[in-house]
Structure 1
Amino acid sequence: MPPLATAPDPDRTPSRRARPRRYLMCRPTYFEVSYSINPWMDPAKPVDPELAVAQWEQLRRLYLDLGHQVDLIESLPGLPDMVYAANGATVIDGKVLGARFRNQERAAEGPAYQEWFRAHGYTDVLEPRHVNEGEGDFLVTGSWILAGTGFRSSPQGHAEAQEFFGRPLISLELVDPRYYHLDTALAVLDDDEVMYHPAAFSPGSRAVLERLFPTAVLADEADAEVFGLNAVSDGRHVVLPQAAVGLAEQLRGRGFEPIGVDLSELLKGGGSVKCCTLDVRDPR
């Protein structure tokens, strides 16, 4: 097992370096909340489609301004949650593990994302046998794949991912239905640095996280419930919901540059920054 993370020098703020990334996103052309498959979704609350698109466009432009590549997959009618591109697949070293959704309402998204990757030259694309919901539940650090279970992705899906990618995988159990995907409760900041909300995890999983990441940034309830951990980091800039002010302050103290954005309309579907962003990790 790789060595555990070491504590930072308290007298020196780390110098952070941004790394260019490639992201896949899906414009929320057909976004609406017409059913409920997580505690954040309430079909009785109206959604402003134009505002949802405007907020999403702000996020896309921000990535471009930061020097990242953004590819787009066409949104399909009848799939209002397709905007949450992170759920569509997991990509590591150019290998693509497709998604298999637990809920029938999202089932057609998996094949749509797999087809996009095949059409764009990816030859190692696996259609999974077991339930996994992409980067919603698979987050990649320098040493491990962190994998969430408890509400969506299955333990069998974890084993399938480890076998496909050939990387050590750490299963983590989520226990609060508000944080139904791992990317709502934990974010990778850089290499083996993470931030997470301890109360979202079972006692055993919290102990694992404490052992693997003893210097992690810990989010309190106030920052977690505004989806502050549904964030994207390029190693220096951390894009996160603007309401997560406590997390932003902690990140500044670690040498990161937090950038707050407003995705309040998309939060009505149970997603924010990370949910809208699939990290395409091509071979370096």
Structure 2
Amino acid sequence: MDTAGDPQPPITRRATPRTVLMCRPDHFTVSYKINPWMDPAAPTDTAKAVAQWQVLYDTYVGLGHDVHLIDPIDGLPDMVYAANGGFVVDGKAYGALFTYPERQPEGPAYMDWFREAGFDVAVPDEINEGEGDLLLVGDVVLAGTGFRTSTRSHDEVARVFGREVVGLTLVNPAFYHLDTAIAVLDPEPVEGRQNIAYLESAFDAASLEVLRERFPDAILVDEDDAAILGLNSYSDGYNVVIAARATGFERQLRERGYNPIGVDLSELLLGGGGVKCCTLDLRR
């Protein structure tokens, strides 16, 4: 019997508890400009940023995730974007070496926390901004470059972790980190596969070819949802915490069997960050 045109059975999504690191935005403000989102002349509200961040924190706790905190440091307003602080796999933490001087003190601060938490720390020699440009999908590391992270760091990551590293080039300054243009939807394999969502226009032609070949079933997010950092989201395999205003992406996720949960991080968006920027995976 020919069943090629028959509908496929739905995939059963399962949440897996995650362990993450976050940083309260007690010192958040926009006092310099290092990405297109930032405008030092525009007012920011630190109390509002803390309140919005607290909702994200409470959401993770409510989902059963183990949330660790690093103490914020006065004078480092972007420290809230914990994802940039490193890349952690198999109990080993590869530290961050930031491009801009304004953020460079964050690297040692996060590496000190990793050491105190019992992780084996690999001090970087090459410019990289942690999980901002390094995303784990299965055994493969998707590694972004183009604005912040050096391609030389991709080779360093491959040596440190002994994993395949796939380089992807970003071409739109508004999507300056990989985690603003790609969302990893399946932290654990589902029926032998793991999927992502991404914004096509954020990548060069060669990178798009790689993404289309590796992830033929990926969710392609539109410009409107990407423009509010809708792809800067965090998934446990079933629950996907996203920007509340990314309604198109929300619909796409529901159609694929995920449970999107919208949160409002509009104040932190003024610094160019969203859900994933505030969330660093701690993989033992």
Structure 2 residue corresponding to 1:115, chosen from 112, 117, 141 = 112
Name the residue aligned to 1:98. 95
Is this contact kept in 2: 1:13–1:253, CA < 8 A? Answer: no
RMSD between superposed Cα atoms in Å? 0.8
**Could you tell me how far apart the structure 2 residues matched to 1:118 and 1:90 are?**
13
> Does the alignment pair 1:78 with 2:86?
no
Gaps of 5+ in 2: 1-5
SS in 2 for 1:135: helix
Q: CA deviation at 1:12?
A: 2.5
Within a 5 Å distance, the mapping from 1:9-20 to structure 2 comes to 10-20=7-17
How far the C-alpha of 1:57 sits from its partner, in A, is 0.3
* Deviation of the 1:229 alpha carbon: 0.3
How far apart, in 1, do the equivalents of 2:132 and 2:126 lie? Answer: 15
Within-5 A mapping of 1:135-214:
135-190=131-186, 191=189, 192-214=194-216
For the residue of structure 2 that corresponds to 1:103, the secondary structure is: coil
Task: Note the alpha carbon deviations across 1:164-214, whole angstroms, 9 max, x for none.
Answer: 010101000000000000000001000420000000000110010000000
Deviations 1:53-85 (A, max 9, x none): 000000000000000000000000110000000
Aligned residues with identical type, % of pairs? 57
Instruction: Please give the alpha-carbon distance, in whole angstroms, between the structure 1 residues aligned to 2:244 and 2:62.
Output: 18
Provide the residue aligned with 1:69 in structure 2: 66
Give aligned pairs, total.
273
Question: Who is 2:227 aligned against?
Answer: 225
Structure 1 stretches of 4+ with a deviation exceeding 3 A read none
Q: Give the counterpart letter for 1:93 in structure 2.
A: D
| Superposed displacement of residue 120, structure 1 | 1.4
TM-score normalised by L of structure 1: 0.95
Alpha-carbon contact 1:144-1:167 (below 8 Å) kept: yes
Question: Normalization by structure 2: what TM-score?
Answer: 0.95
Task: Supply the AA of the counterpart residue of 2:256.
Answer: R
- Alpha-carbon deviation of 1:10? 3.9
Task: Please give the residue correspondences for 1:24-103 in structure 2 after superposition, counting only pairs within 5 Å.
Answer: 24-103=21-100
**Amino acid across the alignment from 1:109:** E
Q: Shift of residue 143 of structure 1?
A: 3.0
Rounded to whole Å, the distance in 1 between the matches of 2:35 and 2:117 is 32
Structure 1 distance, partners of 2:89, 2:109, is: 19
